[in-house]
Amino acid sequence: MSKIDEITGLIREMEANTPGIEASAVVSVQGLPIASAMPSEVDESVVAAMTAAILSVGERASQELVRGNLQQITMQGDQGYIIIKGAGISAIITVLAKNDANLGLIFMVLKKISARIGELLSEE
Amino acid sequence: MSKIDEITGLIREMEANTPGIEASAVVSVQGLPIASAMPSEVDESVVAAMTAAILSVGERASQELVRGNLQQITMQGDQGYIIIKGAGISAIITVLAKNDANLGLIFMVLKKISARIGELLSEE
């Protein structure tokens, strides 16, 4: 099984076990898709590009406003959440969730899965 | 008392009554300061510019990723949080909080104060 297959398996499993998650993707810090589990109406390349754009502005803001290194961004729209978290040094995981999702649970799951994806991508 | 004095009073009161908040500011959607309660080491104009930059990218992402109109952004750095919320149609409130702040409480307080500031700024 390739690393990409393994990562896709991890995010599919996360979606299946975490109520409220609608879509998720792992993208490179350059804004290119690595792996995703998305419904057909969501464009993987748009998610990847938007994720990298937000992270770039967010990292600048976190430094300028003395909040240290950026760990996670949560955006709440009136139709749901976008949650973005670093996964190792070269990748980011993005989750789209429903408005009634349990954020505490999603944050906990993301912490675990982002560490695992970071490890997988840093292995030889 | 001018509107700006009233808004400054509201955010100072919020800071005094909400543990974990280190600084807060109300800025225009164009990125200019309206009112602030900041420690001297934080530059009000940098906060205003960063807030507008994040909001602009966040609004685009929320639309593109079918999350509807953006309501709030929470960024977590390893040294604390930046929380950004719209206050009416022309202003934004930004809060800098410590890492151990009670986010649930801050979100509740922000909901109330942002509505009040939106009303104040929309009055003749």
In the predicted model, what is the mean pLDDT of residues B90-96?
A: 94
CB pairs under 8 A between A and B: 116
- Nearest CB to A66 within list B64, B70, B79: B79
**pLDDT surpasses 90 at A85:** yes
Q: Which residue has the higher pLDDT, A42 or B91?
A: B91
Write down the pLDDT at residue A123.
Answer: 80
| Amino acid, res. A1 | M
- Residue B9 — pLDDT band, cuts 50, 70, 90? very high
User: SS3 for A65?
Assistant: coil
Average pLDDT, rounded, for chain B: 92
Q: Which residues from A are below 8 Å from B82, CB to CB?
A: 61-62, 65, 67
pTM assigned to the model: 0.91
Structure tokens at A71: 């760990």
Which residue of A41, A53, A65 is in closest CB contact with B50? A65
Test B54 with A76 for CB contact under 8 angstroms: no
Residue A67: the pLDDT is: 92
Average pLDDT over chain A, rounded to whole? Answer: 92
CB contact under 8 A, A75 and B73: yes
The answer, yes or no, to whether residue A96 has pLDDT greater than 90, is yes
Within 8 A of A76 by CB-CB distance, chain B residues are 67, 70-74
DSSP for residue B98: -
pLDDT tens for B14-61 read: 999 999 999 999 999 888 999 998 887 778 888 898 898 899 899 999
Compute how many other C-beta atoms are within 10 angstroms of the C-beta atom of residue B96.
24
Residues of B in contact with A61 (CB under 8 A): 50-51, 53-54, 75, 82
Q: Is B119 exposed, middle or buried (0-12, 13-18, 19+ CB in 10 A)?
A: exposed
Q: Which residues of B touch A82 (CB under 8 A)?
A: 61-62, 65, 67
Name the residue type at position A37. Answer: A
Mean pLDDT of A96-122: 95
pLDDT of residue A124: 62
Q: What pLDDT shows up at residue B124?
A: 62
